[in-house]
Structure 1
Amino acid sequence: MILNRLEYKYLVPNEELNDIRSEIRPFIRIDEYALNRDPIEYTIRSIYFDTPAMSCYDEKIDGIKIRNKFRIRGYNELKENDIIFLEIKRKYNNFISKNRAPLYNHNLQDLFITKNVGKYIICPENNEQNQDDARRFLYHYYAQKLSPTVLVVYEREAFFGRFNERVRITFDKNLRSADYAVTNKLFSEHPLKPVFTRHFILELKFRGGMPQWARHIIGKFKLPRLAISKYTLCIDSHRKLNNHRKKISPISIKYCFALNCKGQDKKCSIICKT
């Protein structure tokens, strides 16, 4: 389990990326998982799950303070014996925590069929936390009748605080998605629909107080903190609204990157601002 930490998100124009990189450079070190890659970033792939009534989506846009997201997460390109993760991301106001269980990608279908976490979950000796986290995921999977809803993919530049490793800052770019999500398509690249192309998402995670250097940069670039959810943005980009629900993410309503109709779609009641 990843312990509670604060998470703040900002939507930033692409043209400010290089300037922000320069501003943070004295205060950060690069995430080791990206050091040997060119460019210095890695690809994050997540298949999100939701209930038949899309409760996770609704809870997010309704501003429910305590809520969960369920996903399978992998990284970069598919390789033999790739490790992926079952994840539950828990949100309590601005605090987040995660339950995370690793397994080999080729064992995922067998895990769902057999529920045998002892056989398929990778677990250090004398430490059953990973198995416990997998059981939590499977409990919700069956109890709430979860099913894969959308594949979310993006590139991430990731950094840790040079003087405080509890500080983490990430730039999430090229957000794209597919609405055909099935669990064996985590590493698929086609077809993926861009959600927006003019901005990236800056995420700041920390415990305790926000470091002064980060506060200065947020103020210098006049970045408003937003309740951004990649999951709801991607759902909106495919207009995956149930018949009984007329809601849509406030971020999509304000920016309308995801819908991308530019006022040309007469069926779209949203005023596009891009």
Structure 2
Amino acid sequence: MNLKYRNELKYFINQHQYHIIRQRLKNLVQQDEHVGSNGEYSIRSLYFDDINNKALHEKLGGVRDRSKYRIRIYNKDDKIIHFEKKIKFRDYIAKDKEPLTREVADELIAGNYEVLCDSDKPLLKELCNEMKVNLLRPRVIVDYVREPYVCANGNVRITFDKELRTGLHSVNMFDKNLHCVSAIDNNLIILEVKYDEYIPEYIRIALQIEGLNKQSASKYVICRKYLKTNSWEDY
């Protein structure tokens, strides 16, 4: 497996900071090519965890090297479905992913890992083993709107993630009528900055990174905590 590791910074910002930073970036970066006419797209992820909630507790416990599993779709559509493994190693992150059909995704959501037993893809074989041995299962839906920008210089990707929401009572990520509720203060936006070796100085100045409050800002943990706080689950 040949993974590309990148740097990742995360910050909570408010609406005022968002508008200022966005205006500063306007002539410095380009919009991601996948955005819609409004400059955004929606992301819905279904996160998995094992019987011991390993991913959750490792994140809460500050374990440095860890990984998470999820199924991800865009704009609440099933045309593009990926199973992803997000890996954190030291201060770097990487992502391994494989496409899924809707039929296979539905089986995995139902806990039927047998559909992967004959897969020739290492990541899907790993998923099959995790579901079989460690009882990895769907835990929570994470839903939000992303406004993404890119810069070829430094291979920088800047995203504003808004309206973080989570599903209640269901892990059916394909349900068009799924009831999602806000998991954080609506005034908060998660700013993420990913890059290879460096951030160009003009982008660093525009972002004013040194003046922002760096956070872990795990959307998975935020949504799991919301469900626990509101008595929807135990862990």
Q: TM-score, normalised by structure 1?
A: 0.75
| Unpaired stretches in structure 1, ≥5 consecutive residues | 119-127, 246-274
Q: Deviations over 1:164-186 (max 9, x none)?
A: 4x21110000000014343x434
Secondary structure of the equivalent of 2:26? helix
CA positional deviation for 1:92: 1.4
Aligned to 2:194: 205
Aligned to 1:99: 96
Aligned to 1:15: 16
CA positional deviation for 1:163: 3.2
Amino acid at match of 1:65: R
Aligned to 1:50: 49
Match of 2:223 among 234, 255, 270: 234
- When residues 117 and 210 of structure 1 are mapped into structure 2, their CA distance, relative to the original with a 3 A threshold, is farther
| Unpaired stretches in structure 2, ≥5 consecutive residues | none
CA distance in 1, matches of 2:77, 2:26: 31
- The question of whether the paired residues in 2 share the 8 Å contact of 1:150 and 1:180 is answered with no
CA distance in 2, matches of 1:11, 1:232: 14
Aligned to 1:172: 161
**What is the aligned residue count?**
227
- The CA RMSD over aligned residues, in Å, is 2.3
Q: Deviations over 1:214-240 (max 9, x none)?
A: 321343782111111000000111116
CA positional deviation for 1:54: 1.3
CA distance in 1, matches of 2:227, 2:31: 34
- The question of whether the paired residues in 2 share the 8 Å contact of 1:173 and 1:201 is answered with yes
Aligned to 1:192: 180
Secondary structure of the equivalent of 2:215? coil
Amino acid at match of 1:53: N
**Structure number having the greater strand percentage:** 2
Q: TM-score, normalised by structure 2?
A: 0.87
